[in-house]
Chain A
């Protein structure tokens, strides 16, 4: 169920503003890739270009290729809606649908697409997804309560359950723990380690320890100055990046001697 992602010479624009320049990288299947870098260097922008969420913003566009499973996401005749079913996304702020119950939130990907699903299948999908997101035990007795009645950390795990319920091949996470307390953060990190068995995961984080703890490979994005495009400065095994980075900027950033 997991796929390799090949990014080739990707330039990402907001209208005329080049936000991220010339990224080429290969993301291995069944691994966790962390993206780190200073604020505004284009991590979110890059992440969102991996499932064509970028173009939801008016005027936003990309040049270059993102190849998943031998197919260019930006090729002719590719439907972005289908891309997003293959490449799921978890956002920085937990965003369960306020009009839906916990159960309906998990089934949102199915129900919103007008797909029919039998009762038993639905119950099964809800349970496996919630178990997959480490949330089942906490909510199994109140599946019909609104999703917004959960704590922030539980909401975030609900959003993860919702994402894996559509059975994507890749899961993108944009600072998924930034709104969470340390305990919920650990729960999500454990979850990421488990999800790695089945999914390709790309995670943006500002937390070095988190990147070091849960990723296999790490990419460092940097920006030369305001108005300049962000660039992928270094990409390597997490061990290497944190212990013997080859770029001076990476070392400075990681050791906190930045700017």
Chain B
């Protein structure tokens, strides 16, 4: 015991920040030089080789200057940071690819024209697809949020871990894992059964398919948020002679609202990019359709798919349009994330003096 303390006190040497930065820069340069010589220069390999060199050099240097314990500490920090960087590489490269390729067609036409009557050599736009995405995800949200939220309320406030609650949890878990194409087939089957019309293709069918995918996520995230509300608040409310339902509506939900809103927005973002279930349920129209109950409809993922799969004669433009659709989709998801953050900031329980 005393020996190690003594050791620590002795190890007065320290690798200052500038030195560490210098090691980092040196490792990066060495990695680039090495890889260039080998002809394998790309961001991923630079990150991997660079951090390998950096971790080794840093460890050796720290061991010499600061002692073994600090060296291990530095090594672990380096390894963890490398893992983080590796996780970031695909993310950033996806964003970079989409933005750089999608900017070409990010023009007024893209947002104002549909593909209606666009000949094989012409350009057209994704207006119809944007409308379709907004309508279908909007309807899916309208269906899923009440069902999902009430199911979560049941699980947390009324279920008491009974048979019904456990069954519900089980099925929600199963539903979280179903492939999205199955949701699409379910929606088709559901409408065929209800209407007796096998060929019914409309936005609503796609919306139902999306809600099948959305409900479990909403239930799960809402359930977690409701469980976070301290029981003391419920008891405080009961003790004031407030009924159970009013306690839920006016104490539990407002306390959890930030988390609920975040969970719901993320659920919307998740289904927004679904392709397969929409492809088989809505029939990918090329024209604008505001009526979700009649006629086929498009959506951004469908637009990206068809622009890529059936580019017509103007291949380049069509591909560019697919990338732009991806970019717009990503932007929508990002906006939803920001909205979720704003909502949770706005509603978060007030603290501070």
Contact = CB atoms under 8 A, between A and B. Distances in A.
A113 B349 contact: no
B242 A81 contact: yes
A146 B239 contact: no
A14 B250 CA distance: 28
A26 interface: no
Interface stretch (A51-59, A118-126, A238-246): A51-59
Nearest to B232: A95
A148 B239 CA distance: 19
B241 A85 contact: yes
Interface string B224-256: 000000101111111111110011001100110
A126 to B, nearest CB: 15
A132 interface: no
Given A58-B160, A148-B350, A109 B240 contact: yes
A250 to B, nearest CB: 30
A91 B230 CA distance: 13
A82 to B, nearest CB: 7
Nearest to B247: A112
Interface string B47-85: 000000000000000000000000000000000000000
A146 B242 contact: no
Interface string A106-130: 0011011110000000000000000
Given A97-B233, A159-B236, A148 B242 contact: no
Contacts of A4: none
A109 B241 contact: yes
A211 B146 CA distance: 50
- Which one of A51, A58, A98, A109 has the greatest number of beta carbons of chain B within 10 Å? A98
Interface size class of A (residues with CB under 8 A): 20 to 34
B352 interface: yes
A93 B232 contact: yes
Contacts of A51: 239
Given A91-B235, A149-B352, A108 B240 contact: yes
B240 A84 contact: yes
Contacts of B243: 81, 113
B351 A166 contact: no
Given A93-B232, A98-B349, A148-B349, A113 B242 contact: yes
B353 interface: yes
B241 A166 contact: yes
Interface of B: 160-161, 230, 232-243, 246-247, 250-251, 254-255, 349-353
Interface of A: 51, 53, 56, 58, 81-86, 88-89, 91, 93, 95-99, 101, 108-109, 111-114, 145-146, 148-149, 159, 162-163, 166
A113 B237 CA distance: 10
A88 B251 contact: no
Given A113-B241, A114-B246, 11 more contacts: A58-B161, A81-B238, A81-B243, A84-B239, A84-B240, A93-B232, A95-B230, A95-B235, A111-B250, A146-B350, A162-B236
Given A98-B349, A99-B349, A146-B350, A112 B235 contact: no
B243 to A, nearest CB: 5
Contact of B236 (A85, A95, A146): A95
A113 B351 CA distance: 25
Question: Shortest 10 CB-CB distances between A and B: which pairs?
Answer: A85-B241, A98-B349, A146-B350, A89-B239, A109-B240, A95-B232, A84-B241, A112-B242, A58-B160, A149-B353
Contact of A166 (B238, B240, B255): B240
Nearest to B229: A98
Contacts of B254: 99
B349 A53 contact: no
A112 B246 contact: yes
Nearest to B258: A99
A97 B241 CA distance: 15
A166 B351 CA distance: 25
Contacts of B237: 97, 108, 112
A199 to B, nearest CB: 15
A91 B242 CA distance: 16
Contacts of B251: 97, 99, 112
Contacts of B239: 51, 53, 84, 88-89, 91, 163
Contacts of B352: 146, 149
A149 B351 contact: yes
A83 B241 CA distance: 7
